[in-house]
Amino acid sequence: MGVVKRLAYVAAESTDLSAWRSYATDILGFEVGSDSNDRLLYLRADENHHRIAVRSGNRDDVGYVGWQVANSAALDAAAATLDAAGVAVARGTPEEVADRRVLDMLHFTCPHSGVRMELVVSPEINFTPRFRPTRDLAGFRTGDQGLGHVVLYAADLRAAADFYVKLLGFGISDFAMIPGVGPLAVFMHCNERHHSLAFMNIPGAPRRIQHIMFETLSIDDVGRSFDLCSDRDIITTTPGRHHNDHTYSFYFKTPSLWHMEFGWSPRTIDPANWTTEHYELRGDHAWGHRGLMEMV
């Protein structure tokens, strides 16, 4: 298995923190952490202290992405591997460690997406009070498979995949290909979740992130969420089932105009025995998700 064990958290920068506060509880069903303030929101979706952090800023984009490693020895080994490959690595300051609610961390800038990537040890767990969705939801499947997945933009998909495979031990689940053109996306795993990280090549994309996916515990969670988002006029796609990970899902807008995906019943994989696949994006290979190919 690779250095990275799971996706721990994603942080966003936003020009409208108040919109995110109401969106978190009314739409996502997340709890807003009691230690949030008028510059930073901690959003809780399970027993972790937070899965999303939203910081007040001058743009609407991803701020940084946190990846959990096993322990301090794994963190030191990752630092050495990245440094040997010529990647500038910095240890987290005491203030950053406290802010992320972890025991230790390092960070580097992804050379393919420009996104700050953080490797962290032991994110804080809150056993009590238990997480309770703030609206009618069964909850989210996280645990050993982590938050879900995050999809970022990159121009050279093969180089991006090669970077994460060679330096951090990710595996490539599959490539999504446009017939006669080449790869549109690459999907990568670090545990049994089909993909925790993906990159898409969309020239002229207005930001560095496309979406984050949370796996719901019930198909009804997807259905009720779709109705709610339809009523709020924030849906991006119709419900549908994906070609590669078989997830039944739909997408909807965040206050920062990138997207969330709520999905149910994705397939899991055996990372030790997986061989990379590829598939072609043709209209007759799946159903639903109208609007997905236009989504940026």
pTM of this prediction?
A: 0.97
CB 205 within 8 A of CB 296: yes
- The encoded tokens of residue 161 equal 């995949």
Closest CA to 249 of 177, 141, 176: 141
- The encoded tokens of residue 200 equal 């898409």
Q: For residue 19, how many other CB atoms are within 10 A of its CB?
A: 14
- The encoded tokens of residue 79 equal 């630092």
Q: Residue ranges per domain, the chain? A: 4-121, 140-294
User: If one looks up domain 4-121 in CATH, what number appears?
Assistant: 3.10.180.10
Query: DSSP code of 239?
Result: -
Query: DSSP code of 191?
Result: S
Topology classification of domain 140-294: 2,3-Dihydroxybiphenyl 1,2-Dioxygenase; domain 1 (3.10.180)
pLDDT in the model for residue 282 = 74
Q: Give the separation between CA 90 and CA 274, rounded to whole angstroms.
A: 33
pLDDT in the model for residue 285 = 53
pLDDT in the model for residue 289 = 94
CB 243 within 8 A of CB 48: no
Q: Give the separation between CA 263 and CA 140, rounded to whole angstroms.
A: 10
CB 27 within 8 A of CB 229: yes
The b/e string for 259-295 (b: 16+ C-beta within 10 A; e otherwise) is bbbbbbbbeebebeeeeeeeeebeeeebeebeebeeb
Domains 4-121 and 140-294 in one fold:
yes
pLDDT in the model for residue 283 = 60
Q: What are phi and psi of 46, to 5 degrees?
A: -165, -150
- The encoded tokens of residue 271 equal 């990372």
Q: Report mean pLDDT in 10-residue bins for the chain, 296 residues.
A: 94 98 98 97 98 98 98 98 98 98 98 98 96 97 98 98 98 94 96 98 97 98 98 97 95 98 97 95 76 92
Q: Give the separation between CA 224 and CA 228, rounded to whole angstroms.
A: 6
